[in-house]
Protein backbone atom coordinates (compact mmCIF):
# COMPACT_ATOMS: atom_id res chain seq x y z
CA UNK A 1 0.00 0.00 0.00
CA UNK A 2 1.33 3.35 -0.98
CA UNK A 3 2.02 5.33 2.24
CA UNK A 4 0.71 8.55 0.69
CA UNK A 5 -2.62 6.82 0.09
CA UNK A 6 -2.78 5.86 3.76
CA UNK A 7 -2.19 9.49 4.76
CA UNK A 8 -4.95 10.69 2.47
CA UNK A 9 -7.31 7.93 3.61
CA UNK A 10 -6.69 8.88 7.27
CA UNK A 11 -7.62 12.48 6.47
CA UNK A 12 -10.84 11.27 4.86
CA UNK A 13 -11.52 9.14 7.94
CA UNK A 14 -11.08 12.24 10.12
CA UNK A 15 -13.60 14.07 7.93
CA UNK A 16 -16.01 11.16 8.27
CA UNK A 17 -15.60 11.27 12.04
CA UNK A 18 -16.20 15.05 12.18
CA UNK A 19 -19.30 14.69 10.01
CA UNK A 20 -20.59 11.91 12.29
CA UNK A 21 -20.24 14.22 15.29
CA UNK A 22 -22.16 16.93 13.43
CA UNK A 23 -25.04 14.46 12.94
CA UNK A 24 -25.53 14.07 16.69
CA UNK A 25 -28.32 15.89 18.53
CA UNK A 26 -29.08 18.68 19.00
CA UNK A 27 -28.24 19.29 15.33
CA UNK A 28 -30.81 21.11 13.24
CA UNK A 29 -32.27 19.41 10.16
CA UNK A 30 -30.17 21.70 7.94
CA UNK A 31 -27.01 20.72 9.84
CA UNK A 32 -27.89 17.01 9.62
CA UNK A 33 -28.37 17.20 5.86
CA UNK A 34 -25.05 19.04 5.41
CA UNK A 35 -23.20 16.63 7.71
CA UNK A 36 -24.65 13.61 5.88
CA UNK A 37 -23.43 15.01 2.56
CA UNK A 38 -19.98 15.67 4.07
CA UNK A 39 -19.90 12.14 5.47
CA UNK A 40 -20.71 10.34 2.24
CA UNK A 41 -18.30 12.48 0.23
CA UNK A 42 -15.47 11.71 2.68
CA UNK A 43 -16.38 8.00 2.60
CA UNK A 44 -16.10 8.02 -1.18
CA UNK A 45 -12.73 9.79 -0.94
CA UNK A 46 -11.44 7.17 1.47
CA UNK A 47 -12.25 4.38 -0.99
CA UNK A 48 -10.67 6.32 -3.86
CA UNK A 49 -7.44 6.89 -1.93
CA UNK A 50 -7.17 3.23 -0.95
CA UNK A 51 -7.97 2.09 -4.48
CA UNK A 52 -5.13 4.18 -5.89
CA UNK A 53 -2.77 3.16 -3.09
CA UNK A 54 -3.50 -0.54 -3.61
CA UNK A 55 -2.13 -0.48 -7.16
CA UNK A 56 1.44 -0.98 -5.91
CA UNK A 57 1.31 -4.79 -6.00
CA UNK A 58 -0.95 -7.76 -6.69
CA UNK A 59 -1.51 -8.57 -3.00
CA UNK A 60 -2.84 -5.05 -2.34
CA UNK A 61 -4.93 -5.11 -5.49
CA UNK A 62 -6.52 -8.40 -4.42
CA UNK A 63 -7.24 -7.06 -0.93
CA UNK A 64 -8.90 -3.92 -2.30
CA UNK A 65 -10.82 -5.99 -4.84
CA UNK A 66 -12.35 -7.99 -1.97
CA UNK A 67 -13.31 -4.78 -0.15
CA UNK A 68 -14.79 -3.30 -3.31
CA UNK A 69 -16.80 -6.49 -3.89
CA UNK A 70 -18.05 -6.31 -0.32
CA UNK A 71 -19.18 -2.72 -0.94
CA UNK A 72 -21.22 -3.93 -3.94
CA UNK A 73 -22.89 -6.70 -1.93
CA UNK A 74 -23.44 -5.16 1.52
CA UNK A 75 -26.65 -3.08 1.61
CA UNK A 76 -25.26 -0.37 3.92
CA UNK A 77 -21.95 0.07 2.11
CA UNK A 78 -23.67 -0.02 -1.29
CA UNK A 79 -26.20 2.59 -0.18
CA UNK A 80 -23.53 4.98 1.13
CA UNK A 81 -21.61 4.58 -2.13
CA UNK A 82 -24.68 5.19 -4.28
CA UNK A 83 -25.85 8.12 -2.12
CA UNK A 84 -22.42 9.67 -2.65
CA UNK A 85 -22.72 9.15 -6.41
CA UNK A 86 -26.23 10.61 -6.45
CA UNK A 87 -25.06 13.65 -4.47
CA UNK A 88 -21.94 14.20 -6.56
CA UNK A 89 -23.36 13.54 -10.02
CA UNK A 90 -27.09 14.14 -9.69
CA UNK A 91 -29.49 16.88 -8.79
CA UNK A 92 -32.12 14.93 -6.84
CA UNK A 93 -32.26 15.12 -3.06
CA UNK A 94 -30.70 12.26 -1.08
CA UNK A 95 -32.62 12.95 2.14
CA UNK A 96 -36.04 14.20 3.05
CA UNK A 97 -37.66 15.63 6.13
CA UNK A 98 -40.43 13.84 7.92
CA UNK A 99 -42.33 15.55 10.66
CA UNK A 100 -42.78 13.78 13.92
CA UNK A 101 -45.27 14.99 16.47
CA UNK A 102 -46.45 14.20 19.94
CA UNK A 103 -49.69 15.38 21.42
CA UNK A 104 -49.95 16.23 25.09
CA UNK A 105 -53.22 16.42 26.93
CA UNK A 106 -53.72 19.13 29.55
CA UNK A 107 -51.22 18.69 32.40
CA UNK A 108 -49.12 16.09 30.55
CA UNK A 109 -45.33 16.34 30.74
CA UNK A 110 -42.58 15.13 28.41
CA UNK A 111 -38.81 15.27 28.78
CA UNK A 112 -36.76 15.63 25.60
CA UNK A 113 -33.75 13.29 25.65
CA UNK A 114 -31.47 15.38 23.45
CA UNK A 115 -31.30 18.42 25.71
CA UNK A 116 -32.86 17.22 28.97
CA UNK A 117 -35.46 20.00 29.03
CA UNK A 118 -38.94 19.26 30.27
CA UNK A 119 -42.06 20.52 28.56
CA UNK A 120 -45.36 20.61 30.37
CA UNK A 121 -48.78 21.40 28.96
CA UNK A 122 -49.87 23.74 31.76
CA UNK A 123 -53.11 25.67 31.65
CA UNK A 124 -53.95 23.99 28.36
CA UNK A 125 -57.61 24.10 27.39
CA UNK A 126 -57.05 21.28 24.93
CA UNK A 127 -54.30 19.13 23.51
CA UNK A 128 -50.87 20.62 22.84
CA UNK A 129 -48.89 19.30 19.85
CA UNK A 130 -45.08 19.43 19.65
CA UNK A 131 -43.69 19.13 16.12
CA UNK A 132 -40.19 18.21 15.02
CA UNK A 133 -38.62 17.79 11.57
CA UNK A 134 -36.55 14.62 11.26
CA UNK A 135 -34.09 13.98 8.42
CA UNK A 136 -34.49 10.53 6.89
CA UNK A 137 -32.65 8.68 4.15
CA UNK A 138 -34.55 8.01 0.96
CA UNK A 139 -33.99 5.81 -2.10
CA UNK A 140 -31.25 7.19 -4.33
CA UNK A 141 -30.83 6.68 -8.06
CA UNK A 142 -27.81 5.81 -10.14
CA UNK A 143 -28.76 8.09 -13.03
CA UNK A 144 -26.30 6.40 -15.39
CA UNK A 145 -28.21 3.12 -15.36
CA UNK A 146 -31.53 4.11 -13.79
CA UNK A 147 -31.02 1.78 -10.81
CA UNK A 148 -32.56 2.71 -7.45
CA UNK A 149 -31.04 1.91 -4.06
CA UNK A 150 -33.19 1.84 -0.94
CA UNK A 151 -31.88 2.85 2.48
CA UNK A 152 -30.18 -0.18 4.02
CA UNK A 153 -31.95 -2.71 6.18
CA UNK A 154 -28.84 -4.77 7.01
CA UNK A 155 -25.08 -4.53 7.33
CA UNK A 156 -22.59 -7.40 7.33
CA UNK A 157 -25.44 -9.87 7.68
CA UNK A 158 -27.06 -8.10 10.66
CA UNK A 159 -30.51 -6.53 10.48
CA UNK A 160 -30.61 -2.79 11.08
CA UNK A 161 -33.25 -1.54 13.47
CA UNK A 162 -32.23 2.10 12.98
CA UNK A 163 -31.65 3.47 9.47
CA UNK A 164 -31.12 7.07 10.57
CA UNK A 165 -28.26 9.04 9.03
CA UNK A 166 -26.52 8.99 12.43
CA UNK A 167 -26.65 5.22 12.82
CA UNK A 168 -25.73 4.50 9.20
CA UNK A 169 -22.76 6.87 9.48
CA UNK A 170 -21.62 5.29 12.77
CA UNK A 171 -21.67 1.79 11.27
CA UNK A 172 -19.94 2.95 8.09
CA UNK A 173 -17.26 4.77 10.11
CA UNK A 174 -16.53 1.63 12.14
CA UNK A 175 -16.20 -0.34 8.91
CA UNK A 176 -13.89 2.31 7.41
CA UNK A 177 -11.69 2.31 10.52
CA UNK A 178 -11.26 -1.47 10.26
CA UNK A 179 -10.58 -1.23 6.53
CA UNK A 180 -7.92 1.43 7.06
CA UNK A 181 -6.27 -0.68 9.78
CA UNK A 182 -6.09 -3.58 7.30
CA UNK A 183 -4.70 -1.33 4.59
CA UNK A 184 -1.95 -0.20 6.96
CA UNK A 185 -0.76 -3.81 7.21
CA UNK A 186 0.18 -3.59 3.52
CA UNK A 187 2.25 -0.39 3.98
CA UNK A 188 5.50 -0.34 2.05
pLDDT in tens, 24-47: 988 889 999 999 999 999 999 999
pLDDT in tens, 115-172: 445 555 555 566 666 666 789 999 999 888 889 999 999 999 999 999 999 999 999 9
- The residue count of the chain comes to 188
Predicted local confidence at residue 107, as pLDDT: 63
Predicted local confidence at residue 129, as pLDDT: 62
Global pTM value: 0.84
Backbone dihedral region of 161: left (phi > 0), alpha (psi from -120 to 50 degrees) or beta? alpha
Residue 172 CB burial class (10 angstroms; 0-12, 13-18, ≥19): buried
pLDDT in tens, 67-108: 999 999 999 999 999 999 999 998 999 999 887 666 767 666
Predicted local confidence at residue 125, as pLDDT: 62
Alpha helices, DSSP H, located in the chain: 3-23, 29-53, 58-73, 75-89, 165-184
110 against 50, higher pLDDT: 50
Contact partners, residue 11, CB within 8 Å, separation at least 6: none
Predicted local confidence at residue 187, as pLDDT: 84
Alpha helices, DSSP H, located in 54-164: 58-73, 75-89
Q: How confident is the model at residue 60 (pLDDT cuts 50, 70, 90)?
A: very high
Is 151 in a helix, a strand, or coil? coil
Q: Is the pLDDT of residue 188 over 70?
A: no
Predicted local confidence at residue 140, as pLDDT: 97
Amino acid sequence: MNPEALIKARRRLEKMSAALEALRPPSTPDAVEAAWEDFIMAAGGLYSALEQGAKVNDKCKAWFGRRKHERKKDPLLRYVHQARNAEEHGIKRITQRNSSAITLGPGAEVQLMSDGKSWKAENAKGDVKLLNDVVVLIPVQDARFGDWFDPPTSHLGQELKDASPLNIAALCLAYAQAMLAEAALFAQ
